[in-house]
A = this chain, B = another copy of it.
Amino acid sequence: MSSITANTKTPESKCDVLIVGAGPAGLMLATWMARCGINARIVDKRGTKIYAGQADGLQIRSLEIFDSFGFCDRAWKEANHMIEMCMWNPDSDGVIRRSDRVPDVPIGMSRFQQIVLHQGRIERFFLDHIKKHSKNSIQVERGVLPESLSVDEKLMGDHSTSSYPIKVKIRHLTEEEAIPAQSNGSSVSDGLFRSNLAEDDTDDLIRKGQSKAGTDEILKAKYMVGCDGAHSWTRRQLGFELHGEPTDFIWGVLDIIPITDFPDIRMRCAVHSAENGSLMVIPRENKLVRLYIQLKEIKPDASGRADRSQIKPDNIIKAAQKIIAPYNLTYEYCDWWTAYQIGQRVGTNFDYNSRVFLAGDAVHTHSPKAGQGMNVSMQDAYNLGWKLSLVVKGLAKPEILKTYQSERRRIAQDLIDFDHKFSRLFSGRPAIDVLDEAGVSMAEFKQAFVKGNMFASGLSVDYGASMLVAKAGDATEQGDGTDVSSTSKSRIIGTQDLAANIKMGMRFPSFKVLNQADARPWHLQEKLRSDGRFRIVLFAGNVLAAPQKERLDVFCEKMVASAFVQPRLYKDIAVLTVHSAKRTEVELLRDFPDVLHPFDERTGWDYNSVYVDDESYHEGHGQAYEGYGVDKEHGCVVVTRPDQYVGFVGPLDGGEGWTGVESYFEGIFV
């Protein structure tokens, strides 16, 4: 890192969190900042947001996250929905035929399925949401480039609210400087300038910028997050590296409206030709289809990188035509195109002393075909944002920030392993017969795809033990090696058996329940909003049985009496109840302690916190207790983190149960 010497005229300002990069990861982080009321700034070196191309697939977990903020409906409505995956392979004559159909995503895991929509629209949803929730105080500052970074080592350990150890000099670019040159003069957008086949242009931009005067600013920040892509400037300042190697596989990408007699053009398809490489079909919104096309004739040169100038839409479509023959494939309209070289790399560090963090492509790059890049990047930021907000506000212990690297670097490693395997299966030549060991067996490919589906959905993420996840086992082994053991005197371990399908470390699954007060069905996960709060979810069981009612009452009395938890109720810790008695035999005010539906002098009782696992009039019976694996008589208590991941499971009682909840929070809150 360089030290910053500003002349006396350079204006200085302060913010709590500086976000560098306004792609999906940066915008997700800014969304948390807006929702939690944090004084944040977000800068991006590009002068405009993107309007075509780039990432497109939205995995199930990303949609659940969007829904927790409240804008999933916009994506769901506009996107193309991918329902089925078709596999095409050479038959004994070497002619491609459909060999299999499988559901595109696992069945029964979520109310969402995979959808496809271009990244520009997704960024729009984020921008609108940030604007609304920050009341316009957080706006992406475009055409703004960080030039130098220094971190004051003396202040680094001081997480008090007056300490600003990070100093970044930023430069406001002119409009002309901030718009990258397309690689050709065509009217069709291409993404080569962002591709991993291109050199980074940040240094160029800095050099160009320095020839201008008077547009610098010194920004002091408490925390900083580099969401600045595969060429991350932030990562380079910190001296961190990406480890991994490129392969020889070069792929082209076309976003076109295809004119074709290929029957499955509106399905997701994996097409392995006998001799001409592979192709993937991703049907998009507005009749668009994205084709990923293996470019077998283009090879990396001695430097290990392919020559960009060889790659044009014309030779990409020709490669596709060879693969998809005997079907015809042409187009009149091309929306965007690019190319990339397959490789998997993961960052050595995600975190510099809990002060500067890296997220998204800055710490993991891989091939795009499994639709993981944007999703995992957003999920990095989703993991970090609430932790940072709680620490900035002085509510949570700074130690929780270490769980970011522990949790997300582990995921990145898993992702890289997944992609490594999946890409090779995909780029390899199909096996001719069982004796052809150099070829890829299509049975193996299908098996890998179906297994990979669960990983790709984002639903299999399972964070290791830490002060945020009260599960058994070695915290270091379960994460990326970072020490994230509990900070409190004695480590708490929850009782997983009480909620067999609400796994500590995994996201809280969803079943339908009814609001006790108005009988409206909701997916319970819809009630775990991303508002920065932890949640105590009380599975109250059969509240009409006197002993169970007694247990519930005792638990609630402990909650109200707790000097540590009670002052944080509703503000930092919400309470949600789901009981299993018959809805019509139970009354909210009569059968549930006040703390579960608090009274407000101006607006009366709260009617949106108590739910029931019962039959609805129009949407069936959610069978939530059964789905969650919770005993219908005795229930249990679950604590969710602000990101819907499960932190603790315990018995619903005033002993072990309440103590567990209290100790869990004592390990986190200041």
Q: A residues engaging B (CB < 8 A)?
A: 73, 77, 80-84, 101, 103, 107-108, 113, 257-261, 263, 265-267, 283, 287, 332-333, 515, 517-521, 584, 587-590, 601-605, 607, 616-618
Contacts and interface: CB of A to CB of B under 8 A. Distances in A.
User: Shortest 9 CB-CB distances between A and B: which pairs?
Assistant: A266-B518, A259-B604, A266-B517, A83-B519, A103-B617, A332-B602, A84-B519, A81-B520, A263-B587
A609 to B, nearest CB: 12
A283 to B, nearest CB: 6
A604 B113 contact: no
- Among A81, A261, A519, the one with the most B-chain Cβ atoms within 10 Å of its Cβ is A519
B604 A258 contact: yes
Given A113-B618, A267-B518, 18 more contacts: A83-B519, A83-B520, A83-B616, A83-B618, A103-B617, A103-B618, A107-B618, A108-B618, A257-B602, A257-B604, A259-B603, A259-B605, A260-B604, A283-B518, A287-B604, A332-B602, A332-B603, A333-B603
B84 A617 contact: yes
A267 B519 contact: yes
B518 A603 contact: no
A267 B514 CA distance: 13
A263 B590 contact: yes
**Assembly of this chain: how many copies?**
2
Contacts of A81: 518, 520
A360 B603 CA distance: 35
A83 B518 contact: yes
A393 to B, nearest CB: 27
A287 B606 CA distance: 9
Contact of A617 (B107, B265, B521): B107
Given A603-B287, A604-B257, A604-B258, A588 B84 contact: no
Given A332-B601, A602-B333, A607 B107 contact: no
A31 to B, nearest CB: 19
A101 to B, nearest CB: 6
A87 to B, nearest CB: 13
Contacts of A518: 80-84, 266-267, 283
A617 B332 contact: no
Nearest to A587: B263
Query: Which of A107, A332, A521, A601 has most chain B Cβ within 10 Å?
Result: A332
Given A83-B519, A617-B83, A101 B604 contact: no
11 contacts: A73-B77, A81-B520, A82-B518, A83-B519, A83-B521, A83-B618, A101-B584, A103-B618, A107-B618, A257-B603, A287-B607
Task: Indicate the member of A81, A267, A515, A584 with the most B CB atoms within 10 Å.
Answer: A81
Nearest to A110: B618
A77 B602 CA distance: 25
A213 B187 CA distance: 54
Contacts of A521: 83
Max chain B CB contacts within 10 Å: which of A73, A265, A588? A265
Contacts of A108: 618
Nearest to A268: B518
Nearest to A517: B266
Contacts of A519: 83-84, 267
A332 B108 CA distance: 45
Contacts of A267: 517-519
Given A77-B73, A103-B617, A617-B103, A261 B603 contact: no
Contacts of A103: 617-618
A82 to B, nearest CB: 8
A119 to B, nearest CB: 21
Contacts of A82: 518
B589 A263 contact: yes
A83 B607 CA distance: 15
A585 to B, nearest CB: 12
A269 B519 CA distance: 13
A519 B604 CA distance: 48
Most chain-B Cβ atoms within 10 A of its Cβ — which of A83, A113, A283? A83
A616 B103 CA distance: 10
Contacts of A283: 518
Contacts of A84: 518-519, 617
Contacts of A602: 257, 332-333
A363 B486 CA distance: 72
A287 B518 CA distance: 12
Nearest to A586: B263
A73 B616 CA distance: 21
A587 B587 CA distance: 55
A517 B604 CA distance: 52
A588 B261 CA distance: 10
Contacts of A517: 265-267
Contacts of A605: 259
Contacts of A607: 265-266, 287
Contacts of A260: 604
Contacts of A263: 587-590
Nearest to A262: B589
A86 to B, nearest CB: 10
A382 B103 CA distance: 40
Nearest to A112: B618
A480 to B, nearest CB: 34
A261 B257 CA distance: 60
Contacts of A73: 73, 77
A583 to B, nearest CB: 9
Contacts of A258: 604
Contacts of A83: 518-521, 616-618
A586 to B, nearest CB: 10
Contacts of A261: 589
Please indicate which of the listed interface residues A73, A259, A518 has the most CB atoms of chain B within 10 Å of its own CB: A518
